Structure 1
């Protein structure tokens, strides 16, 4: 069986400056507190945690949390007859959206916080959203369920690829 042609592929990561400033700021404060207490032997308030416990907190929150956010990504693929969306590491397999179930679709500018409550995999009265950063995407409207928004840094290319994939139907070659 021949592999299906990929009409569009995009991998997005969190690139918001404010998010990384908070994550790295917290990491820096934890690391500085760890060095101050363990290596310099200075007191910082009440010692409610042992040095080992503090080291584990620094490792989990100070290193693990930024690494976890760095590994997060939204992968969008458009193939003939379907769209695949995967929000890694939360979804092990991509969500497959057959385009024959899509009644209509549009490219739009939206308010991530106002419309969906933020970024990630979000549910609201407007439907479901897969978004990573920015405020542009393609909204898919279905015959029998609420819409799905796919956020994209290249929303025009995504829209055109979906249009082409819907016309082609499933399993066709380019």
Structure 2
């Protein structure tokens, strides 16, 4: 590889054509998460801070304090921090579903046969939101019902959910032209 082509390759890898970070923002999800967490908040306040006994067979104050930290504080924090980051660069799309992906999953666009902007049914087609597997392939989605579906030469399709599906589609078109 010549020095000139190496420099061009390095410059292409630095160009971000599209970037989107999504979080879980569904009201019903937060009702469930905070509802479960509130059970531990009430138990902690009543038993540890006020000195009562919470429940028919109360656990020790130490055990309840640990559960309060893990479930009462940790569960809402976990859902608050969870994110889906999508980046499109020349010749590649990267998807990272934090905290499950330590490093972004790279999808070289030369492996993508075709792609389309879609409106889908998250529950009916993939069983919900998150990292999902279904009969229609794999999906990375956080909320909503729009995205871009990638079709490959040698595996099932991949859906990338997006709040800005049109922009993602256009960035993929530009990135595929750029090649890698």
Q: Tell me if both proteins adopt one fold, taking TM over 0.5 as the criterion.
A: yes
The equivalent residue for 1:32 is 42
* RMSD of aligned residue pairs (Cα, Å): 1.2
Q: Structure 2 CA distance, aligned partners of 1:69 and 1:129?
A: 18
TM-score (norm 1): 0.93
* Residue correspondence of structure 1 range 101-112 to structure 2 within 5 A: 101-112=111-122
Structure 2 residue 104 is the aligned partner of structure 1 residue 94: yes
* Equivalent in the alignment of 1:53: 63
SS at match of 1:44: coil
* Distance in 1 of aligned mates of 2:167 and 2:132: 23
Match of 2:147 in 1: 137
The partner residue of 2:126 within 105, 116, 125 is: 116
**Highest RCO, 1 vs 2 (Cα 8 Å, sep ≥ 6):** 1
- Measured against aligned partners, the alpha-carbon deviations of 1:64-109 in whole angstroms (never above 9, x if no partner) come to 0111111110000000011000101100111111111111100000
CA-CA distance at 1:124 after TM superposition: 1.0
Select 1:71's aligned residue among 73, 78, 81: 81
| SS in structure 2 at match of 1:161 | helix
- SS of structure 2 residue aligned to 1:46: coil
Give the secondary-structure state (helix, strand or coil) at the position aligned to 1:45. coil
TM-score calculated relative to the size of structure 2? 0.90
* Unpaired runs of at least 5, structure 2: 1-9
Instruction: Give the count of matched residue pairs.
Output: 170
Map Cα deviations across residues 113-142 of structure 1 (whole Å, 9 max, x no partner).
Answer: 111111111111111101111110000001
SS in 2 for 1:121: strand
> What is the SS of the residue equivalent to 1:42?
coil
After the TM superposition, list the runs of 4 or more consecutive aligned residues in structure 1 that deviate by more than 4 angstroms: none
- Flag structure 1 segments of 5+ consecutive residues without an equivalent: none
* Residue 41 of structure 2 corresponds to residue 41 of structure 1: no
